Structure 1
């Protein structure tokens, strides 16, 4: 198996958000990308990464800071969205490696933002909705949030909830647990 089959990128993004409607002209933009690399054969988390992204069509609200811990001054030090997508493509082989997120929000946010800005979508087509896999593996009637899934799996919430870096790390722990249970889809669940 090639590297692209042995490693999985687990991605979680944080984006500008508001309590209620966005201000006139503002749109939700990615301000943090958290990425944890999972070695599918070893069934362990092997890399933890974070990149801050500078928004250009919105600002970080007080509500967003309270939720994510990120401030406008902090994200102003980040890279452009185009640079962040290049980082994913070059440093993490995002176009070739399979990837996962908790739900479809992250995938949809990247799709929307790439279309709106003309930036090349960095990921390939092999996306797994880890929330859906977890829900089916545990025969749950409803899809839980990440924190609830960690509780159900008997795993601790490490770090701050709604931090892209910490959430990617925690989602990856759930992926590892699903791998150990033989519930993660694909040919890479064997040893």
Structure 2
């Protein structure tokens, strides 16, 4: 069944800082995510350019992660993503100070280099949906970054913070403080998190808008596939969360691409995770590790790099049914 952050200004008062910078919103100001297609350059073979900044994960307490001062070689200063914006709740898009401090365009962290075109291979899929869940007890963050498989351009994103349903409010506060307090994004989480069922309802609207799936038809994704860094997200965590939320596992979660397996078979070396891949590929990290939307962007950058090197992304795992075992399609895989 279908499921119908900001370096503070030179003021001494925290209240004044927050009153100037925080994108206040109320329940009545919740907006549906606005989707904008960017021009594609299908037919061009493209390699991913590395980010010019490697920010440190310090926090400012205003819903975003602060950057480190940019290196002298940086062509542009890195700015943290406005997490109210990714939730469809930023009300400060006309505030110049806010726009100077926050990034409202995820594509700036996912640039492409059109000059390196000789190794890129044709892909069987048109789009990759890079997914990296956060939350061990229950899912706390559901970020997806969409990449055009041929042009390697950032197309769109879906990002929601998820409110647990089987935990006490006190436990949730402790959980969120431990998980997101160190990034300074615990407040934006509390302001925007919604139950998992509602997240899936909005996500289904999103993939339906992009014509990847239809509620009345169900089935697998059309011309797109999830890419995860490991099998945990879709093999283990989503089914567990569906049971907790008392909903059936959606059909579009039945298959995925484990980037670790693609990496192993393409480069002939094992990577335990995203950080290992980025270190071996000499790629700097953008944002904060374990902030889901930043991890999803970094994984997407690894995908861009691998495609630029000539890798082909293929489905690596399939679930036979909502309750069935997972079949792994690569003999040489990460276990």
Alignment CA distance shift 1:61-1:74 (3 Å): closer
Whose helix fraction is larger, Structure 1's or Structure 2's? 1
Match of 2:150 among 38, 41, 47: 41
Q: CA deviation at 1:10?
A: 0.5
The alpha carbon displacement at 1:73 in A equals 7.2
Q: CA RMSD in A?
A: 2.5
Distance in 1 between the 2:247 and 2:230 partners? 23
Relative contact order, CA 8 A, sep 6+: which one is greater?
1
Match in the other structure for 1:125: 254
2:134 to 5, 10, 14: 14
Larger radius of gyration: 2
Q: CA deviation at 1:41?
A: 1.1
Distance, in Å, in 2 between the alignment partners of 1:151 and 1:111 is 31
SS in 1 for 2:160: strand
Structure 1 position 11, deviation (Å): 0.5
For structure 1, list consecutive stretches of 5 or more residues without a partner in the other structure: 18-27
Distance verdict in 2 for CA 1:77–1:124, change over 3 Å: closer
Q: Choose 75-84 or 86-95, whichever is displaced more.
A: 86-95
The reply on whether 1:167 has 2:295 as its aligned counterpart is yes
Residue 165 of structure 2 contacts residue 245 of structure 2 at CA under 8 Å; is this kept in 1? no
Can you list the C-alpha shifts for 1:86-121, whole angstroms capped at 9, x where unaligned? 222220347513111110121120111113322243
Q: Is the 8 A contact 2:130 2:146 kept in 1?
A: yes
Partner secondary structure for residue 38 of structure 1: strand
Q: How does 1:9-158 map to 2 (within 5 A)?
A: 9-15=129-135, 17=136, 28-58=137-167, 59=172, 60=175, 62-65=177-180, 70-71=185-186, 74-75=189-190, 77-92=192-207, 93=212, 95-96=220-221, 97-107=224-234, 108-122=236-250, 123-140=252-269, 142-158=270-286
2: CA distance, partners of 1:185 / 1:31: 28
Please give the TM-score of this superposition, normalised by the length of structure 2. 0.47
Q: Which stretch of structure 1 is more off in the superposition, 99-108 or 41-50?
A: 41-50
Question: What is the match of residue 20 of structure 1?
Answer: none
What's the TM-score, normalizing by structure 1?
Answer: 0.78
Conserved? CA contact 1:85–1:121, under 8 Å: no
SS state of the match for residue 202, structure 2? helix
Unmatched segments (≥5 aa) in structure 2: 1-123, 214-219, 316-335
Distance in 1 between residues matched to 2:152 and 2:279, nearest whole Å: 20
Q: 1:122-143, CA deviations, whole angstroms, 9 ceiling, x for partnerless residues? A: 4343300012211222211x33
